[in-house]
Structure 1
Amino acid sequence: MQFRLILAALVAAPLAVSASISSVPGALPDSVGVPTAPAPAGRVSPSNPLPWYRPNHVVLQTGGGLGMIAGGAGFSLKDRLDLDILIGYVPEKYAGSALSLASAKLIYSPWSLPLHDKLTLKPLSVGGYFSYTHGTINDEEPDQYQPGYYWFSTDTRVGPLLGSRLSYALPATASGRSRNLSAYYEFSTNDLYIVSYVQNRRGLSPADILTLSLGLKLDI
């Protein structure tokens, strides 16, 4: 008799627990699956990140001391931080010798302002760049000048930049990542221009040491 009572209690206990759960407002039975919310469009799933070597965007620009025309690819290191690698070119007609330039830009854009369903403005982009120029006249003529004649490097430049960019939302990729086409401008200067300005403030104004670049950036 005791064995039957214990067995009946064991069978009744789960039924009682199930009944108590189902009586709680908003409770869901175990047999009903809870659908998970889909990942927001335009974001890469953490379980399937992009390879570290794959660029996030391509860039094409003119000016800025990085070549009459320059193009390359870039990486989004953080939500607001980009690294762009560019190769530029200046024809001999405009520089005395044909110049090829390799440069890297690190750009931080702290704010994004939605203007429309598909338009976003990044009002401030700040950063710096480094560039190396091959083909300068002085580099092509060894011993043309006595040692120390040029105290500065004739082929490497480093400097700050500041600008803004306007982005237009494009259809998402097949994997669901968002894409934008952005137009931007940047004002920049370099170490040599800054030193020249400090040493000759009466002859130079800040506008004399600034260069302007215009470019396009396409997410891929």
Structure 2
Amino acid sequence: MGRVANITALRALAVVLLASIPARAQQAAAGPYFLTLHVAGGTGLVALGGGYRLAHERLEPELLVGYVPRRLSGSKPLAIVTLKTTWLPWKAGLGDARWQAQPFTLGAMVNYTTGKQFFLTNNTAGRYRPGYYWWSSAVRLGLLAGTRLNYGRTGSTRTAAYAELSANDLHLISALTNRTLRLPDILTLGGGLKQDMR
């Protein structure tokens, strides 16, 4: 009788474990994905995209596709594709467990602007003598620092509002060679919203 009870208990345990596999797999696959709506900041007038949180939700790599209308680009509408990573070193509660501040964030990005007027290298453009332009007009590398306010609980759906100051490689090098440039000439303000998709 004891042996039969043990076998029945083992079978029941096996059924429960097997039945929980799809639920666990679905939970693992859900992950901390997020969608982003970003405004300005060197990624276009408006950009949409998303990413995935890593390193205990302290690192956020994401892909954004931005748009610049004709009236701001000077010629044709532009598309800007941006790979961006933000590091969030710490967060602080604001009394209510649903509100959290991340007072300081750091990040880096690289973006590519489409269009025939932009080139990867001057040599591939074929419009200027070799060495005339030492930089790429299509690709920009940038650094950013910002702040963020989160609403929602960790492990559930959250919304974050953020603001960032960024500077790209061309602006930083120009600041080193042209002392008349001021911080507003070098820095670009951007911001947006991030929504978890758990």
Give the TM-score, by structure 2 length. Answer: 0.77
Once the two structures are TM-superposed, the CA of residue 148 in structure 1 deviates from its matched residue by 2.5
Q: Which residue of 2 aligns with 1:101?
A: 80
DSSP 3-state at the match of 2:159: strand
1:75 and 2:75 equivalent? no
DSSP 3-state at the match of 1:117: strand
Q: Which residue of 1 aligns with 2:131?
A: 148
Separation in structure 2 between the aligned mates of residue 134 and residue 125 of structure 1, nearest angstrom: 29
Task: Give the ranges of 4+ consecutive aligned residues of structure 1 lying more than 6 Å apart after TM superposition.
Answer: 44-47
Once the two structures are TM-superposed, the CA of residue 47 in structure 1 deviates from its matched residue by 9.3
DSSP 3-state at the match of 1:193: helix
Question: Mind listing any 5+ residue stretches in structure 1 that lack a counterpart?
Answer: 1-43
Q: Is the Cα contact below 8 Å between 1:189 and 1:211 reproduced in 2?
A: yes
After superposition, what is the alpha-carbon deviation per residue over 1:124-155, rounded to whole angstroms, capped at 9, x for unaligned?
1101001011016354xx54433322211000
Write the letter of the residue equivalent to 2:140. R
What is the root-mean-square deviation of aligned Cα atoms in Å?
2.5
Q: Which residue of 2 aligns with 1:188?
A: 166
Q: Which residue of 2 aligns with 1:26?
A: none
DSSP 3-state at the match of 1:135: coil
Once the two structures are TM-superposed, the CA of residue 55 in structure 1 deviates from its matched residue by 6.7
Q: Which residue of 2 aligns with 1:161?
A: 144
Once the two structures are TM-superposed, the CA of residue 90 in structure 1 deviates from its matched residue by 0.4
Q: Is the Cα contact below 8 Å between 2:36 and 2:48 reproduced in 1?
A: yes
Higher strand share: 2
Alignment of 1:84-99 (within 5 A): 84-96=62-74, 97-99=76-78
Write the letter of the residue equivalent to 2:135. F
After superposition, what is the alpha-carbon deviation per residue over 1:188-209, rounded to whole angstroms, capped at 9, x for unaligned?
00110000000012x1122320
Q: Is the Cα contact below 8 Å between 1:161 and 1:189 reproduced in 2?
A: yes
Give the TM-score, by structure 1 length. Answer: 0.70
Q: Which residue of 2 aligns with 1:118?
A: 98
Once the two structures are TM-superposed, the CA of residue 85 in structure 1 deviates from its matched residue by 0.6
Q: Is the Cα contact below 8 Å between 1:136 and 1:154 reproduced in 2?
A: no
After superposition, what is the alpha-carbon deviation per residue over 1:154-207, rounded to whole angstroms, capped at 9, x for unaligned?
00011110001101117x9xxxx4111110001000110000000012x11223
Q: Percent identity?
A: 37
Question: Mind listing any 5+ residue stretches in structure 2 that lack a counterpart?
Answer: 1-22, 120-124
Separation in structure 2 between the aligned mates of residue 194 and residue 147 of structure 1, nearest angstrom: 23
For this pair of structures, how many residues does the alignment match? Answer: 168
Higher helix share: 2
Q: Is the Cα contact below 8 Å between 2:140 and 2:170 reproduced in 1?
A: yes
